[in-house]
């Protein structure tokens, strides 16, 4: 039985300032600078991974929260699928 | 009518604030700069960001369209409805050809 509950948005709030891995249609790995109530996010130093297309670097972007499936703190997304 | 002279009474969505590095502050920071906008369909537009509102509706000047990274044409001044936007990125994406 858990003694301490961490709400989903609290978890994301703890990630502000550190790397995060975002899964949607494609994937994004970058430093989370901020987010709003819709979980639209500002990411910095981003790698966009498009399935079947490849990777590209983007310096800073605003990501629409509407299509986000999953967010993983740590941002090791570039390494997990390698091999 | 130039794109600068917008009716201030138009509904602009949630009011942008600029207190930190949150989404609305970023939108204020990049207006007037060259941006790359990617839609959910994968189509990419670049141009000078004239304005954005809280719905992520976007007005682009000198808009260029890219499909699968290839240049498809110049569209001039465009309006992009915010619900189609996947991201707005500062600068021009390096993967675009032409």
CATH number for A14: 2.30.30.100
Q: Note the ipTM here.
A: 0.85
What's the total number of domains in chain A? Answer: 1
B11-21 pLDDT, tens digit per residue, is 555 544 444 58
User: Domain range holding A46?
Assistant: 8-73
Nearest Cβ partner for B85 among A25, A57, A64: A64
Bridge partners of B47, per DSSP, are B35
The residue among B64, B60, B23, B74 whose CA lies nearest residue B44 is B64
Domain membership of residue A82 (yes or no) is: no
A15-38 pLDDT, tens digit per residue, is 999 999 999 989 999 999 999 999
pLDDT at A61 over 80: yes
Whole-number pLDDT of residue A64? 95
Domains of chain B plus CATH, in order, are: 32-90 (2.30.30.100)
Chain B residue numbers with beta carbons less than 8 Å from the beta carbon of A64 are: 56, 82, 85-87
Domain membership of residue A61 (yes or no) is: yes
**What whole-number distance in Å separates Cα of residue B43 and Cα of residue B68?**
7
**What whole-number distance in Å separates Cα of residue B78 and Cα of residue B63?**
7
**What whole-number distance in Å separates Cα of residue A30 and Cα of residue A47?**
6
pTM of structure? 0.81
Whole-number pLDDT of residue B92? 87
Domain membership of residue A78 (yes or no) is: no
Domain membership of residue A31 (yes or no) is: yes
The residue among B78, B88, B27, B12 whose CA lies nearest residue A63 is B88
Domain membership of residue A63 (yes or no) is: yes
**What whole-number distance in Å separates Cα of residue B93 and Cα of residue B86?**
14
Distance from CA of A3 to the nearest CA of B (A): 32
Domain membership of residue A30 (yes or no) is: yes
C-alpha distances (whole Å) from B49 to each of A39, A74, B94 are: 22, 32, 18
């Amino acid at each position: 039985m858990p003694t301490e509950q961490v709400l989903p948005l609290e978890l994301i709030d703890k990630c502000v300032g550190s790397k995060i891995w975002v899964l949607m249609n494609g994937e994004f790995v970058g430093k989370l600078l901020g987010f709003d109530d819709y979980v639209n996010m500002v990411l910095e130093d981003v790698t966009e991974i498009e399935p079947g297309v490849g990777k590209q670097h983007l310096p800073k972007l605003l990501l629409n929260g509407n299509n986000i499936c999953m967010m993983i703190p740590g941002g090791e997304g570039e390494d997990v699928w390698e091999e | 009518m130039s794109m600068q002279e917008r009716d201030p009474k138009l509904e602009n969505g949630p009011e942008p604030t600029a207190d930190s590095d949150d989404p609305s502050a970023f939108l204020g920071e990049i207006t007037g700069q060259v941006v790359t906008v990617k839609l959910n369909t994968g189509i990419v537009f670049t141009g000078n960001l004239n304005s954005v509102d809280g719905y992520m509706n976007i007005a682009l000047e000198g808009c260029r369209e890219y499909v699968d990274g290839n240049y498809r044409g110049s569209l001039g001044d465009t309006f992009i409805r915010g619900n189609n936007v996947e991201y707005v990125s500062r600068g021009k994406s390096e993967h675009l050809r032409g």
